[in-house]
Amino acid sequence: MRYVVFLNCKALWVNEFAKLINVNMCKSWDCTNNFTREQVTNEIIPVLSYSYMSVLVPVFLLTDYLRYKPVLILQSLSHVSIWLLLLLGTSLLEMQFMEFFYGITMAARVAYSSYIFSLVPATVYQRVASYSRSSVLMGVFTSSVLGQICVSLGGISYRKLSAVSLGLVTFGLLLSFCLPWPKRSLFFNQARLDEKRKEAAQSELARMKPEEKDGSMAAQGSNHKSSSWTNSVFIQMLKELKNVVKVPSLRLWSLWWVFNSTGYYLVVFYVHILWNEVYPATEKIHVYNGAVESASTLLGAITSFAAGYVKIRWNLWSELVIGLITAAQAGLLLLMGITDNIWVCYVAYALFRGFYQFLVPIAIFQIASSLTKELCALVFGVNTFLGTVLKTIITIIVVDKRGLALNVHSQFSVYFLYFTLLTVIYLGCSAFIITCHYRNQRAEEETTEVAIATELSPMTAAASDGTTANGTSIKT
C-alpha cells in the first residue's frame, strides 16, 4: 500500500511540477508566438472552457468503467501534447488545440483524485487524501518558485522552460504506465463483482439442493433480465440525486460549488492577462507571476488547514459566512479591476484565492458527511459539470469573439458584478434564516412559559381556597 501511495503522489507531484511555464503563460504566447492579447483573451483561452465541458462527463464515466489507469495514461498523453504544441505550434489553430488538450487534462483530474481510493482500505482514506492533496500543493508551489527563479535570476527563456516541462510530463507519462491496475472500482465494476458473488452463491445453492435447480434458476434468471438495469449501482445513485435538493445543507453547498467555483476559475484563467495589461514589463526578470502563484498557493493551503478548526453552527450561519466571504471577494475583484499598481493586484489575487480555498474543505465536509461514498462522488461530479456549463455560457457571452469580446478590465467588472449579485442573494437568505430561527426560538420559549403557568395554576387555585388537591383543609 505504501508503494502505491508513494507512486501516485509522485505522479501527482510531477504533473503539477511540470507546469513551470504556466506562471507566465500569457507572456509566453506574446513573446514567442507573436499572438496579440485580444487573440489570447477572446480566441485561445475560451477553448479551454468548451473542451472541459465537452469531455467532463465522458471522462467521469469512463474513469470508473475502465478502472482509472487508461484515463491516467490519457491525461499524461494530453500533458505531452500540450507542451509539444506550445513548443512547435505557431498558428492560432494549434494553440486552440493546445487548450483542448488542457481541457482533457483538467477533466481527467477526477481519475487521480479517486484512483488512490480504489487501491487502499477505507481505514486510511483520510491519510491518503491528505498525501494526495499535499502532493498537488507541493507540486504547484515548487513549480511556481522554480519557474520564478529561472525567469528572474537565471534569465532562462520561456522556450527553454517549455522544453523542461515537456521532459517532466514525459517522465510523468512513464510513471502512469507503472501504476498498478485496480481490481475494483466504485460504480460499474463494483456492480459486476456483486453479480459474480450472487452467481457463485446461486451455484453453491444449486449443488446443495439439486431438486430445486431448474425452477428456481429459471425464476431468478427472468427476474435478473427484467431488473438488472434498474437495480444497477449507477441507476440507484441517479435516483438518489433527487433527494439532495431536499436537504438544505446539501442544496446550499452544492449551489455554492456551482456558482462560486465558476467565478473563481474565470478569474484564475484570465488574471495573467490582467497582470500583463496592468504592468506590461518589457523585461521578463521583472515579472513576478510565479512568486505570486506560490504565495497564493501557500495562503490557500493555510486557509484550507484553518477551516478544519472552525467550530460554528453551520446550519444557522452558513449563508452568512458564505455571504461575507463572497462580499470580500467582490471587493477584491473591484480593486483588481481599477488599480494600476501591479503589487496591489498581486495581493488582491492572493487574498481572493485564499478566501475560496477556505470554503472548499468546508463544502467538501458538509456534502460528504451526509452522503455515501459512491453518491458523494456523483454529486461532486454533477456539481462540477453544472459549474463548467455555467462557466462556458459566461465565456461565450462575455469573452468569446462571437459574443461581447470584452477586454480583460471589462471582464473583471463583470466578475465583480457577478460576485456582488451572489453576495446579495447569500446575505438575503442569511437574514431570512436567522430571523426565522430566533422567531421560532422565541415562540418556543413563550410556549414553554405558558405550559409552566398552566401546570402551576391548579395548585395555585386550590391553595387560594384553603384546600389541598385531595380535598382536605390546609388548616388544622
pLDDT, tens only, 128-144: 665 666 677 777 777 77
Give the list of residues 6+ apart from residue 84 with CB closer than 8 angstroms, or none.
Answer: 166
Q: How confident is the model at residue 43 (pLDDT cuts 50, 70, 90)?
A: confident
What does the pLDDT average to over 264-278? 90
Of 222 and 117, the one with more pLDDT: 117
What does the pLDDT average to over 66-87? 86
Q: How confident is the model at residue 217 (pLDDT cuts 50, 70, 90)?
A: very low
Q: How confident is the model at residue 428 (pLDDT cuts 50, 70, 90)?
A: very high
> Are 240 and 375 in contact, with CB atoms under 8 Å apart?
yes
C-alpha cell at 196: 459474480
> Are 17 and 139 in contact, with CB atoms under 8 Å apart?
yes
Give the list of residues 6+ apart from residue 86 with CB closer than 8 angstroms, or none.
Answer: 21, 28, 98, 162
What does the pLDDT average to over 171-178? 84
Domain 239-462 sits in CATH at: 1.20.1250
pTM assigned to the model: 0.73
pLDDT of 296 over the 70 cut: yes
Give the list of residues 6+ apart from residue 322 with CB closer than 8 angstroms, or none.
Answer: 252, 256, 260, 359, 426
What does the pLDDT average to over 279-290? 70
Return left, alpha or beta for 155; rule: phi > 0 is left, psi -120 to 50 is alpha, else beta. left
> Are 284 and 48 in contact, with CB atoms under 8 Å apart?
no
Closest Cα partner for 21 from 131, 102, 134, 90?
102
Calpha distance 313→318 (Å, rounded): 8
**Total length of the chain:** 476
Q: Where in the chain is the domain with CATH 1.20.1250.20?
A: 1-184
Q: Which residue has the cell 499535499?
A: 134
Closest Cα partner for 275 from 15, 41, 2?
41
Residue-level pLDDT at 130:
59
> Are 308 and 244 in contact, with CB atoms under 8 Å apart?
no
CATH T-level fold of 1-184: Growth Hormone; Chain: A; (1.20.1250)
